[in-house]
């Protein structure tokens, strides 16, 4: 029994030693302020800003007290690549590498959360379009950095992304067409990107959004819009599809659009759904796809849809008060 406990202790210590060895190597690049703070603790997991799991693997790192002009953050992050359980890297505030975002960040493939914010020195920098390796990201916050250039297309490949905050940058052009595949998005903030234009793709689960101070427009099926945001016209949609990388820009994907341009008066969820919105909702719940309206119940404002691709002509009922943040069972019923 004693021997078993001793072996378990040695195993835990070896795990800890491995992660701390890599962290020790990283600290030497983070300057005297961080090194002084680190010298006051006995192990890396006792350092403020470090979180470990039950097996003493480092899972979260928050970087404080880094001198952005003197410290070699890029090499420090390279050492973090060896931390196989690292899922969160935050508070990279006022952190840069030669005026650019450290390239080594894009190799941290296990990250679920990445926050790099308030780096106003980036306002002359183009954000590298290198997010393809970060396939596990669920939260990406690049706000208040002043990045310029096109919206990074590689962000559209982060299929697990739920929270995307890009406000107060200087992105321009349209949102790439493939970003419509970010079907898990719950929050999208693009406020202050004044040169972004065109339509915002439809996101079936989007519960919070901010498109203030942009030139973006919303599709009638959108379930989240910003105050004073214009509804897209057919011309808006056509011009966007010619610019956003749509492989078939003349496909009339949103052919049922109401072309009358209106203004919304407040941030809200749309209470009506046309066929394209229903397809998205069903797809997000693993049920897709040849949906068409067959009946609307005026009494309770529910909509009945038929999916001709399903056996026995299954019918789906979706409430006009669909709440994207509610459990699927409360908003989608199979009749």
- The whole-model pTM stands at 0.73
Identify whether 326 is part of a domain.
yes
DSSP-based three-state secondary structure for 39: coil
Q: Across residues 69-79, what is the average pLDDT?
A: 75
Instruction: Work out how many domains the chain is built from and give that number.
Output: 2
Strands across the sheet with 50-52, in order? 50-52, 58-62, 88-90, 113-115, 139-141, 163-165, 187-189, 208-210
Residue with tokens 């050492």: 79
Q: What is the mean pLDDT of residues 169-197?
A: 97
Do residue 62 and residue 197 come from a single domain?
Answer: yes
Mean pLDDT value across residues 170-185:
96
The dihedral formed by the CA atoms of 231, 234, 237 and 243, expressed in degrees to the nearest 10: -130
Winning range, highest mean pLDDT, from 17-26, 49-58, 64-73: 49-58
**143: in domain:** yes
Task: Note whether 141 and 205 are same-domain residues.
Answer: yes
Q: For residue 251, what pLDDT is reported?
A: 77
Residue 49 has pLDDT above 60, yes or no: yes
pLDDT reported for residue 324:
42
If you search the block for the tokens 């749509």, which residue do you land on? 246
Cα Dmax for the chain: 78
Do residues 300 and 151 both lie within one domain? no
- For helices 2-27 and 31-38, the axis angle rounded to 10 degrees is 160
The tens digit of pLDDT for each residue in 273-332 reads: 444 555 555 555 555 444 444 333 433 344 444 444 444 434 444 444 444 444 333 333
Q: Which residue has the tokens 């309770």?
A: 300
Claim to verify: residue 201 and residue 57 sit in the same structural domain: yes
Greater confidence (3 vs 149) lies with 149
CB neighbours of 195 closer than 8 A, spacing ≥ 6?
170, 171, 172, 173, 215
Does residue 266 belong to any structural domain of this protein?
A: no
**Residue 107 Cα to chain centre, angstroms:** 17
| Residue 116, in any domain of the structure | yes
Average of per-residue pLDDT across 199-220: 96
Q: What is the pLDDT of residue 329?
A: 36
Same domain, 21 and 102: yes
Name the more confident of 328 and 82. 82
What pLDDT band is residue 75 in, cutting at 50, 70 and 90? confident
- Paired strand residues for 315: 306
pLDDT band at 198 (very low <50, low <70, confident <90, very high): very high
Same domain, yes or no: 80 and 171:
yes
The range of the structural domain enclosing residue 31 comes to: 2-243
In this prediction, residue 55 has a pLDDT band, given cuts at 50, 70 and 90, of confident
Rounded-to-integer distance, Cα 327 and Cα 305, Å: 20
255 found inside a domain: no
Question: Is 60 exceeded by the pLDDT of residue 333?
Answer: no
> Does residue 186 register a pLDDT over 50?
yes
261 in any annotated domain = no
Same domain, 301 and 233: no
pLDDT in tens, 83-140: 989 998 886 655 555 567 778 899 999 999 999 888 766 666 788 999 999 999 999 9
**Listed range (30-34, 77-81, 220-224) with the worst mean pLDDT:** 30-34
Q: What is the pLDDT of residue 116?
A: 87
pLDDT over threshold 60, residue 245? yes
Residue 31: its pLDDT value, please? Answer: 78
> Quick one: average pLDDT of 56-84?
79
310 and 225 in a common domain: no
Among 122, 211, 128, smallest CA distance to 175 is for: 211
- Percentage of residues in the chain having pLDDT higher than 70: 64
Q: How far is CA 281 from CA 122, 203, 222, 312, in A?
A: 38, 9, 12, 21
């Amino acid at each position: 029994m004693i021997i078993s406990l001793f072996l378990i202790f040695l195993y835990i210590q070896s795990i800890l030693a491995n992660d701390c060895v890599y962290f020790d190597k990283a600290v030497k690049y983070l300057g005297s302020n961080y090194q002084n703070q680190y010298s006051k603790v006995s192990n890396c997991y006792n350092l403020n800003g470090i979180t470990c799991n039950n097996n003493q693997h480092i899972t979260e790192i928050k970087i404080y007290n880094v001198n952005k002009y003197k410290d070699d953050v890029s090499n420090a992050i390279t050492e973090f690549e060896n931390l196989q359980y690292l899922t969160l890297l935050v508070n990279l505030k006022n952190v840069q590498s030669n005026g650019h975002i450290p390239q080594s960040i894009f190799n941290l493939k296990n990250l679920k959360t990445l926050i790099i914010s308030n780096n106003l020195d980036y306002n002359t920098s183009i954000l590298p379009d290198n997010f393809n390796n970060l396939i596990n990201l669920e939260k990406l916050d690049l706000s208040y950095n002043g990045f310029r250039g096109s919206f990074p297309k590689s962000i559209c490949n982060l299929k697990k992304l739920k929270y995307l905050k890009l406000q107060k940058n200087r992105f321009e052009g349209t949102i790439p067409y493939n970003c419509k595949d970010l079907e898990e998005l719950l929050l999208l903030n693009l406020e202050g990107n004044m040169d972004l234009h065109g339509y915002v793709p439809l996101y079936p689960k989007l519960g919070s959004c901010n498109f203030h101070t942009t030139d973006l427009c919303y599709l009638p099926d959108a379930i989240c819009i910003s105050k004073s945001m214009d509804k897209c016209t057919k011309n808006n949609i056509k011009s966007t599809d010619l610019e956003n990388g749509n492989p078939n820009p003349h496909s009339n994907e949103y052919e049922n659009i109401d072309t009358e341009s209106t203004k919304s008066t407040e941030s809200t969820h749309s209470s009506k759904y046309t066929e394209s919105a229903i397809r998205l909702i069903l797809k997000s719940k693993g049920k897709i796809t040849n949906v068409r309206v067959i009946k609307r119940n005026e009494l309770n404002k529910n909509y009945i849809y038929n999916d001709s691709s399903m056996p026995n002509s299954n019918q789906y009922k979706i409430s006009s008060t669909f709440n994207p943040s509610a459990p699927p069972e409360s908003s989608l019923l199979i009749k």
